[in-house]
A and B are shown apart, each in its own frame.
Chain A
């Protein structure tokens, strides 16, 4: 199973990533806040302890007196039996009393204005401590002596409190995250239900059902449904065209075959070899026409616009010349003047060589078929800066201008035409021109008489043509 196949999983992953990020942030915040709360709670006790000591200090008879109360140490030791330390120094650093030599706060902590108690972290013999330093004064009538009290405790209790607080937040956050996940799963199921419905609707279709989908879906899916519907419509049109083509082709093939059958039956009733000979001649002629018709049908199906054929560089001058030369015998037979007009240099177009040959052959065949003897047919090729125009003109009977729009349709025949053609020649020309990105149009022929077809190709770039020369 490819990873791309599950839309639900993609959504889940992309919702989970930000969720994880948010949960991490929340937990970091919860941890710092838990530590801060625990510190604040216990810092209050440190402050109280230092205050108790400060209140007991007296100056008498030129000496400092302190009746250190047990409570000052007991409240910061607490029920969890923290280790406690204290130290009293004069501001000049001279030590007055204490049970340990304690670290001093950094300058930063001391610079806070309007505050005479500072809390900071430190270490004593490798034990992490929380310390509070209080600036105080012993005031007598004649002077005021500054001194510092530092009280400290180990961090066990506050770490535990922080831990407990954090555990609470952790639990809440995890529950919230799990609920959110469940919610997302549920929401995804509900939100993706229209897609499931669409899938089921498509899966349950009969293969020949090409009618548009009519589902009540969210508007985000409109485009998808519209695309699907237009694809279905194209399929339906193409199928219809194919069916019509097959029906037309069968119909077209039936007429000459019926003629062949009737001629053969008629000849079989005759007894004279001369009659047989005449009948065989007609049969041969009709068989040729039928062969030509089936060839054209085959060609038409092969150049159907959806069949991709490789394009190479082709010399159109060479191709046109060759076609004119090939048909020269037939033109002479019909006393038609078939000529080629154009310079000798190569004219490169990107295309499929056999298709371009078929295009030329059909145009020439058409002209030769409809032109009476002593007509002129002129094949011309003009290579301009940005386009190449191939024209096949004649001065035959021509086609009424009102038929021009229909001439390139399949099986269309102009009203004036005899029964020789089958109405596929120009349709093939049009299909091939389309597949080469060329424009095609028809107009009156030589001197405003007759009929002409212009095919205009885009010029291939000279650089891409360069290596062919």
Chain B
């Protein structure tokens, strides 16, 4: 394997025109190469929908632990990850590991028999609720949050729950008109998933949707895009944003406040799987096992706000610490075949029609 780059990580950014069906991540696919430091090397291809700055601590630790692995990490949007996986049967460009927060699509791949079971010590001990047939592993615990600018709290008490948000939106003296931003379910399947789960959780969601419409909310395609708008001041409150990215952004932008809703908070998990036709299954298994290991989980708890899912891990960002704060309000989206319904075209059409009706009604 040619190794023209000696320093790590070498970054080749391939900007590609992609559809805007992205689910929370950047619009371009970026390729990162971590060359092996010893020979003989073993290649490892990871296709992920996870920002590189979030994944970097994990990738560095992994390649340090396994210096013979020649790792290529490509960050796509979730749609591309799924699309490439589905096309890999014919195009023979399969990756060794797929990581995505688009839970329904990862489930769709696993359910169709696209993934192969992983049988490593860490995989065997992984909690039952966070895996499916040992083919699909949830390794993060990312709450869905509200984000607002700190200056909002000077004008009104910032909403700490769905209920308070609804009250604030419905209040005649609301400061939020045109200031709220959330996912456009037509554009983002991730947003659609969150909306469907919100609707399933409480019929009051439709009252909230109605109130949002009344308040002339803005729509965004990805969490990063919406956070950018809040930083720039085009919006003051983001609803249903991905907590991990919000916390990462808040590290550099102290004006951002991340609020985990107190009445109920959906929790999404990032799912990893190994395709059946993975060209380097051994290296892929090693990486998935690393994500589930104490070392990998500790990095998620301390270096990057992905929130470690494993119980025993200590750190600021763990499922355990989140639970101790939010208690029973946390509702992880179950990893089961129920996810498949979100992809049903008729169900989506039904949801979107209702969503659109709310908007037209409010006009």
Contacts and interface: CB of A to CB of B under 8 A. Distances in A.
Interface of A: 64-74, 76-77, 81, 83-85, 88, 96-97, 99-100, 125, 127
Contact of B132 (A68, A81, A127): A81
Contacts of A66: 344, 346-347, 350
Interface in B114-173: 132-133
Interface residues of B, number: 20
Contacts of B133: 81
A68 B346 contact: yes
A83 B133 CA distance: 9
B19 interface: no
A254 B132 CA distance: 116
17 contacts: A65-B349, A66-B344, A68-B344, A70-B338, A73-B341, A74-B337, A76-B337, A81-B132, A83-B112, A83-B113, A84-B111, A84-B337, A85-B111, A88-B346, A97-B346, A100-B112, A125-B113
B108 interface: yes
Nearest to A85: B111
A359 B345 CA distance: 121
A89 to B, nearest CB: 12
B337 A77 contact: yes
Contacts of B336: 74, 77, 81
Residue in B108, B338, B345 with the greatest tally of chain A CB atoms within 10 Å: B338
A97 B349 CA distance: 11
Contacts of B349: 65
A407 to B, nearest CB: 107
Contacts of B346: 64-66, 68, 88, 96-97
B338 A73 contact: yes
Nearest to B338: A70
A14 B214 CA distance: 91
Contact of A125 (B112, B337, B338, B345): B112
Contacts of B341: 68-70, 72-73
Contacts of B132: 81
Nearest to B136: A81
B340 interface: yes
B108 A99 contact: yes
Contacts of A68: 341, 344, 346-347
A69 B340 CA distance: 10
Nearest to B134: A81
Contacts of A73: 337-338, 340-341
B345 A97 contact: yes
A73 B104 CA distance: 13
Contacts of A88: 346
Interface in B329-345: 336-338, 340-341, 343-345
A127 B351 CA distance: 32
Q: Name the residue among B108, B113, B346, B349 with the largest chain A CB count within 10 angstroms.
A: B346
B33 to A, nearest CB: 33
A84 B110 CA distance: 11
Contacts of A125: 112-113
A67 B199 CA distance: 12
